Structure 1
Amino acid sequence: MNYFVGTLQKYPEIALFLTIGIGFWIGNLKLGKFNLGVVTSTLLAGLLVGQIGIKLPAVMQSTFFAMFLFSVGYAVGPQFIRALKSDGLPQVVFAILICLAGTVTAIVLGKLLGYNAALTAGLLSGGYTNSTVLGVAADLMNQSGLQPDELKAALALLPVAYAVTYPFGTIGSAFMLANIAPKVLGFDLVKVCQDYEREHGGNKIGTTAYREFSARAVKLANTGLVGKTVEDVEKMFHNEIFIRRMRTSAEGPIVDCKRDTVLTEGAILAVSGGLSALLAYADEFGPELKDVPLLDFSTELLDLVVTNKAYAGKTLGELIHTLFGEPGRGVFLTKFTRSDVAMAMGEQVKVQRGDVLTILGAKADVAKIAKVLGYADRPVEGSDMAFMAFGIVFGSLIGAFTIRIGGIPLSLGTAVGAIVAGIICGYLRSTMRTFGHIPGPAIWVFNNVGLNGFIACIGLNAALGFVGGIQNYGLTLFLAGTLVTLVPIIVGLLLGHFVFKFHPGIMLGAVAGARSTTAALGALQEASKSNVPVVGYATGYAVSRLVMALLTIVVVNAF
């Protein structure tokens, strides 16, 4: 044991990775429907491991945090900018008001209880379940010019407040939104979400949009189809079945079918479509055969980013009927995502620039649609690290710039600069997809390793002052945290229901998003049996990440 402790003290990077490992392990364990979460688990692990006396350099903490902030901004940037420019503006205003409610509550409680900036920022971060606040506050304090002893004491109080208030912030907000709010406001969450889906996404775009793609070889035995063109036959089956290839006999040459190709008696056809459609119409063609060469045509599953301005603003139904006939006959839409959030697929859903359509079909046909609609985002292993690094440099330089008003130095701080840079870079990437590619898995690593590496640094450095902080502030701090959790939720519910008059499912999602509470979104999806809350969550989450970073500056300067 002495060897182990001595090694950790001599090589603190080992303690760092030990903390991160414990955090991810414990954070992903579930007790019933509850899990502590990786961030909280990492913080507690750091506070525990750090009891042996571990000191990590501040630059390591700042590096992890800049990585996290940029990746968050990069991921939410497209949705944030679009919301500012489009009919999502009411949701933007709504999210800002909820953020203000939480911030004001924390400041008032901090003043009444005699807390300093560190305790108040930690209270806001945990009670509001926004880890960005914790990092921005730490960054601002490191740049505040405090004496070393004062800085050390302040930074020790941040994780105390966060650790005490975060559990209720997560559990309380999830329970309040998913279970209490629908009963108090008098609506059936499942029913209203089902009604919304019927109105906006329930009119499905045919089987082609929602069924697994498959192809079969059949011998044409239905004389009623002989002599008809491919186009005529496909219309007979409501464009749910597509005739891809044909040969006149078992040994005959294979022909790629066009719309005007005429079907001949006894021909062997390669037909494709949704699995349910193929089963439903199996008897309309003839017996199925094994014909490997006939079915040996290349297919591709492709993420297609909408960048063509001509199609932005069109409904998904218009886009499907325009493009999935010609030039992309027989191409299937399998998924529709916006800012990495899976959206409901319905005829009335409007497509925005930066949306991603996952399409499946013959490789040549998929390429035709990609050429017309936007950018083919094929999987690659590499990331544009220069784009990310220069983005962080540029944003941090802007954030570090200080102006003096009445002799008071004011600056955004490098943390806010990094998240703003991420938002700008993410939006540029969504509209000009020829540069700045950072794959989703890489974003996950930058986001989670950045955040939890930062949290681990905070926990390890603050560990020795943690126990005293809990003893001095524990119960009062917990009660204050419940108010920081509940007040913005109540304000959001009242505003969303009576003032903005949002759809109930979208309103609840927007409140969860404005609080950056993923657990609450999961609870809402489970309670509603629907993805409708996701529609509100996406904009609220994007807005809150930036707004809460800015409001942290107000909190720190208020004390």
Structure 2
Amino acid sequence: MAWIETVLRTYPPIAVFIALAFGYWFGKFNYRGLGLGAVTSTLIAAVAIGQLNIPISPMVGSFFFLLFLFAVGYGVGPQFVRGLAKDGLKQALFAVVVCLLCLGSTWLAARLAGYNAGTAAGLFAGSQTLSASMGLATDSINQLSISGAQKQSLLNEMPVAYAVTYLFGTVGSAIILALLGPKLLRIDIVKECADYESSMGGMNHAQSGDLAWHPYEIRAFQVGETTAVNGQTVSEIEHLFPHGGVFIERLRRGTEILAAKSDAVVKTGDILAITGPRHVLIDVIGAHAKEVDDRELLSVPMEGIDVFVTSKAIAGKTIAQISKMPEAHGVFLCKISRGLTGEEIPLLPKTVVQRGDVLSVSGRTADTTIAAKAWGRVDRPGSITDVMTLALAITIGCLIGAITIHIGSIPLTLSTAGGALIAGLITGWIRSIHPTFGYIPTSTVWFMNSVGLNVFIAGVGIASGPTFVAGLEHLGAGIFLWGVFATTLPLVLSIFIGKYLFRFHPAILLGACAGARTTTAALGMINEIAHSQVPTLGYTVTYAVGNTLLTIWGMVIILLMT
């Protein structure tokens, strides 16, 4: 044991890696999406390791924390900017209100309990489940005009309050929104989501089969003398299936294979290569036409690709509108992913596509190529990060954030952390318009986002380890109860504000509350109870705004408490 202590004190980075290993291992255990998570597990492991009095340089944590904040801004940039635009302004304003409620409830709890600024920052980060706010709080504490010992005392109490209040912050948020929320609204969330889908042009299973992830196939059918489509054009036949997404790829006439032009007239004896959902091909077309095994005709190059949306031509348009565009011919939309968390958006006719969305489409290679060129660019996984843009953006953001303006004795500054966050927002937004700019692979964004934050948290935990137990004894059980208060009050108020003031549809209201509080676990439980992905429509814009503001509130809570 003495040898291990000597090694860890001599080589502190080893302690960080141990904390990460245990943190990610324990963090993967959850029940229905609810668990401690990697961040809290890493903090607990780091605090345990910190009992050995291991010296840890704050520079390591600061470096990774800047990478983390940039990655956060980079991921939510398109949705954040869209939230400030006209079509997302209502949800953005709602997110601002919720974030102010979160800040106000924490400030009130800290004042009533008599906590100092460090405990208040930890209470805020844990009760609102936003670990990133501790980074900005740390920067703000370090800029206070107090002694070094006083600063360290505040910094030591922050992770204690965070660790105690985080569990209810996560589990309680999911319970309040998913289980208590529908009762407070006096609604049947399943029925509300079904009604919303209907209002958005959705259909029941009997009419359309699954709304997403259709098992698309290509099959060949021969036109007989009594076939209803005999004598009609390709375009007319395709329009017989307005909800089925059926396309004629090409046709065989005698021994010749012809391209299926829209004005081509189908004749008796023609064999048509048709793509569409399996249930339409088998149950509808197969019941009225003879299926033929024509391997040469069916040898059509098909592919599935992801398209990163950048074009104004489809941004802001519904799926129904896009489906009528010439470049959409022969293309099947399988999934829409949106935001940093890649949330799947419901595929409904009135679902609106936005810049920065990733459309998963399938179809004939020639058709998907045309669609990708018109809508944006193929989002093929790359392996090379535009490090120059990343480093330059963080540098500029940090330089701007380093500017401090004093109002009396109070220093006002974005801090280098805030500057990195804003740099990420701007970079991510610009890339949604110019996809060749500032490319960062998804895996790299994940590393910066997850590992970046956890290295910072590990450093905080190891540094505060020797005083953690004493701090926990000092704060007592009261900190947990105040955490319950700070978690519950803004969520309950936001449910009623969303219903009566913003008048959101009940199907998306709870998703909007989850997004503004950046609680993905709650969204997962809401979707599970609703048996629908509709609540996600209220999540993405509010998540982008909430993630940004709640992070910045880590600095604001320090200013309010000093």
State the alpha-carbon separation in 1 of the partners of residues 277 and 362 from structure 2.
11
- Deviation beyond 6 Å, 4+ runs, structure 1: 204-209
Report deviation, 1:411: 0.9
Report deviation, 1:146: 4.9
Spell out, residue by residue over 1:468-504, the C-alpha distance to the aligned partner (whole angstroms, 9 max, x if none).
0111103111111111111111221221122222222
Residue type matched to 2:429 in 1? Y
State the alpha-carbon separation in 1 of the partners of residues 238 and 81 from structure 2.
41
Do structure 1's residue 245 and structure 2's residue 250 form an aligned pair? yes
Q: Paired residue for 2:20?
A: 20
Do structure 1's residue 413 and structure 2's residue 415 form an aligned pair? yes
Residues 240, 320 of structure 1: CA spacing in aligned structure 2 closer, same or farther, 3 A cutoff?
closer
Q: TM-score, normalised by structure 1?
A: 0.92
State the alpha-carbon separation in 1 of the partners of residues 109 and 457 from structure 2.
25
SS of equivalent to 1:360: strand
State the alpha-carbon separation in 1 of the partners of residues 433 and 478 from structure 2.
48
Counterpart of 2:358 (choices 356, 359, 364) is 356
State the alpha-carbon separation in 2 of the partners of residues 431 and 208 from structure 1.
32
Do structure 1's residue 270 and structure 2's residue 273 form an aligned pair? yes
Spell out, residue by residue over 1:343-366, the C-alpha distance to the aligned partner (whole angstroms, 9 max, x if none).
112222233333332221111111
Report deviation, 1:179: 1.3
CA contact (8 A) 1:201 1:345 kept: no
State the alpha-carbon separation in 1 of the partners of residues 84 and 231 from structure 2.
55
State the alpha-carbon separation in 1 of the partners of residues 268 and 109 from structure 2.
83
Do structure 1's residue 312 and structure 2's residue 318 form an aligned pair? no
Which piece of structure 1 moves more, 408-417 or 223-232? 223-232
Do structure 1's residue 288 and structure 2's residue 292 form an aligned pair? yes
Q: Paired residue for 1:103?
A: 103
Residues 41, 190 of structure 1: CA spacing in aligned structure 2 closer, same or farther, 3 A cutoff?
same
1:185-200 matches, cutoff 5 A: 185-200=185-200
Residues 175, 236 of structure 1: CA spacing in aligned structure 2 closer, same or farther, 3 A cutoff?
closer
Which piece of structure 1 moves more, 340-349 or 389-398? 340-349
Which piece of structure 1 moves more, 254-263 or 184-193? 254-263
Residues 32, 546 of structure 1: CA spacing in aligned structure 2 closer, same or farther, 3 A cutoff?
closer
State the alpha-carbon separation in 1 of the partners of residues 208 and 487 from structure 2.
44
Q: Paired residue for 1:86?
A: 86
Residues 185, 206 of structure 1: CA spacing in aligned structure 2 closer, same or farther, 3 A cutoff?
closer
State the alpha-carbon separation in 2 of the partners of residues 86 and 212 from structure 1.
37
Spell out, residue by residue over 1:438-482, the C-alpha distance to the aligned partner (whole angstroms, 9 max, x if none).
232322221111111211111111111101011110311111111
Residues 446, 105 of structure 1: CA spacing in aligned structure 2 closer, same or farther, 3 A cutoff?
same
Q: Paired residue for 1:29?
A: 29
Residues 463, 493 of structure 1: CA spacing in aligned structure 2 closer, same or farther, 3 A cutoff?
same
State the alpha-carbon separation in 1 of the partners of residues 406 and 143 from structure 2.
15
CA contact (8 A) 2:333 2:359 kept: yes
Residue type matched to 1:548 in 2? L
Residues 10, 221 of structure 1: CA spacing in aligned structure 2 closer, same or farther, 3 A cutoff?
farther
State the alpha-carbon separation in 2 of the partners of residues 62 and 143 from structure 1.
15
Counterpart of 2:517 (choices 511, 515, 518) is 515
Which piece of structure 1 moves more, 333-342 or 426-435? 333-342
Structure 2 residues without counterparts, runs of 5 or longer: none
Spell out, residue by residue over 1:65-114, the C-alpha distance to the aligned partner (whole angstroms, 9 max, x if none).
11111111111111111111123222222222222222122223323333
Do structure 1's residue 234 and structure 2's residue 241 form an aligned pair? no
Q: Paired residue for 1:394?
A: 396
Structure 1 residues without counterparts, runs of 5 or longer: none
Report deviation, 1:328: 4.1
Count of matched residue positions in the alignment of Structure 1 and Structure 2: 553
State the alpha-carbon separation in 2 of the partners of residues 140 and 248 from structure 1.
76
State the alpha-carbon separation in 2 of the partners of residues 222 and 160 from structure 1.
80
Do structure 1's residue 215 and structure 2's residue 218 form an aligned pair? yes
Residues 451, 436 of structure 1: CA spacing in aligned structure 2 closer, same or farther, 3 A cutoff?
same
Q: Paired residue for 2:426?
A: 424
Residues 201, 152 of structure 1: CA spacing in aligned structure 2 closer, same or farther, 3 A cutoff?
farther
Report deviation, 1:145: 6.0
Spell out, residue by residue over 1:268-302, the C-alpha distance to the aligned partner (whole angstroms, 9 max, x if none).
543211121221212433233161x4333322322
State the alpha-carbon separation in 1 of the partners of residues 108 and 263 from structure 2.
74
Do structure 1's residue 43 and structure 2's residue 43 form an aligned pair? yes
Which piece of structure 1 moves more, 39-48 or 348-357? 348-357
State the alpha-carbon separation in 1 of the partners of residues 236 and 185 from structure 2.
53
SS of equivalent to 2:429: helix
Spell out, residue by residue over 1:98-142, the C-alpha distance to the aligned partner (whole angstroms, 9 max, x if none).
222221222233233332211110011111111121121122223
Report deviation, 1:213: 2.1
Residues 346, 185 of structure 1: CA spacing in aligned structure 2 closer, same or farther, 3 A cutoff?
closer
Which piece of structure 1 moves more, 421-430 or 196-205? 196-205
Report deviation, 1:418: 1.1
Residues 385, 36 of structure 1: CA spacing in aligned structure 2 closer, same or farther, 3 A cutoff?
same
State the alpha-carbon separation in 1 of the partners of residues 305 and 517 from structure 2.
33
Percentage of matched positions with identical amino acids: 41
Do structure 1's residue 173 and structure 2's residue 178 form an aligned pair? no
State the alpha-carbon separation in 2 of the partners of residues 169 and 272 from structure 1.
48
State the alpha-carbon separation in 2 of the partners of residues 418 and 327 from structure 1.
39
1:83-162 matches, cutoff 5 A: 83-144=83-144, 146-162=146-162
Residues 388, 192 of structure 1: CA spacing in aligned structure 2 closer, same or farther, 3 A cutoff?
same
State the alpha-carbon separation in 1 of the partners of residues 498 and 328 from structure 2.
42
Q: TM-score, normalised by structure 2?
A: 0.92
State the alpha-carbon separation in 1 of the partners of residues 91 and 472 from structure 2.
38
CA contact (8 A) 2:133 2:555 kept: no
1:324-473 matches, cutoff 5 A: 326-339=326-339, 340-406=342-408, 408-473=410-475
Spell out, residue by residue over 1:162-210, the C-alpha distance to the aligned partner (whole angstroms, 9 max, x if none).
0011111111111111112221332112211221111125259978974
